[in-house]
Chain A
Amino acid sequence: MADLIEYKCPCCGGKVEFNAGTQQMQCPYCDSEFTIESLKAADEALNGAGTEQMQWDTPDSTFSDEESAGLNVYSCQSCGGQIIADQTTAATHCPYCDNPIVMTGQFRGDLKPDFVIPFKLDKDAAVKALSAHFEGKRLLPKVFRDQHKIDEIKGVYVPVWLYDAHANGHITFKAHKTRRWSDAQFDYEEKSFYSAVRGGEMDFEKVPVDGSTKMDDELLGSIEPFDFKAAVPFQTAYLSGYLADKYDISAEDSTETANKRIKRSVEQAFQNTVKGYDAVEVDTSTVRLRNAKAKYALYPVWLLNLSWNNEKYTFAMNGQTGKFVGNLPLDKGAAAGWFVGIAAAVTAIGTLIGYLIS
Chain B
Amino acid sequence: MQMTVMMMLVSPSFNFGKTLLIALVIGLIVAAIAVGSMASKLKTVSQRREANDYVTKGSLKMQVSRDNFLYKKTERRPRAQQNTPQNDAPRQNGPNGRPPAQR
Q: Interface residues, chain A, CB within 8 Å of chain B?
A: 136-140, 170, 175, 179, 181-208, 217-219, 221-222, 224-225, 258, 260-262, 264-265, 268-270, 273-274, 325-330, 335, 338-352, 354-355, 358
Contacts and interface: CB of A to CB of B under 8 A. Distances in A.
Contacts of A219: 45
B90 interface: yes
B64 A197 contact: yes
Contacts of A200: 60-64
A26 to B, nearest CB: 32
Given A189-B74, A261-B48, A355-B19, 17 more contacts: A137-B42, A138-B38, A140-B42, A183-B99, A185-B78, A186-B77, A194-B68, A195-B67, A198-B65, A205-B54, A264-B51, A269-B60, A327-B42, A330-B39, A339-B35, A347-B24, A348-B23
Nearest to B15: A358
A237 to B, nearest CB: 28
Given A175-B67, A187-B79, A343 B42 contact: no
Contact of A347 (B23, B60, B73, B97): B23
A198 B19 CA distance: 51
Nearest to B75: A189
Nearest to B100: A181
Contacts of A262: 51
Interface of A is mostly: mixed
Nearest to A275: B67
A182 B60 contact: no
B45 A327 contact: yes
B61 A191 contact: no
B83 interface: no
- Most chain A CB inside 10 Å of its own CB: which residue of B19, B27, B61: B27
Contacts of A351: 8, 16, 19-20, 23
B67 A194 contact: yes
B103 interface: no
A182 B79 contact: yes
Contacts of B65: 197-199, 273
Contacts, number: 226
Contacts of B43: 327-328
A358 B11 contact: yes
Contact of A199 (B55, B62, B93): B62
Contact of B30 (A182, A206, A346): A346
A188 B74 contact: yes
A83 to B, nearest CB: 32
Interface string B38-54: 11011111111111111
B40 to A, nearest CB: 10
Which 6 residue pairs are nearest across A and B when measured between Cβ atoms?
Answer: A350-B23, A221-B48, A199-B64, A346-B27, A225-B53, A354-B19
A341 B77 CA distance: 39
B45 A218 contact: yes
A160 to B, nearest CB: 12
A205 B62 contact: no
A221 B48 CA distance: 5
A342 B35 contact: yes
B29 to A, nearest CB: 9
Given A183-B93, A202-B59, A225-B53, A190 B72 contact: yes
A350 B16 CA distance: 11
B56 A224 contact: no
B64 A170 contact: yes
B3 interface: no
A198 B93 CA distance: 39
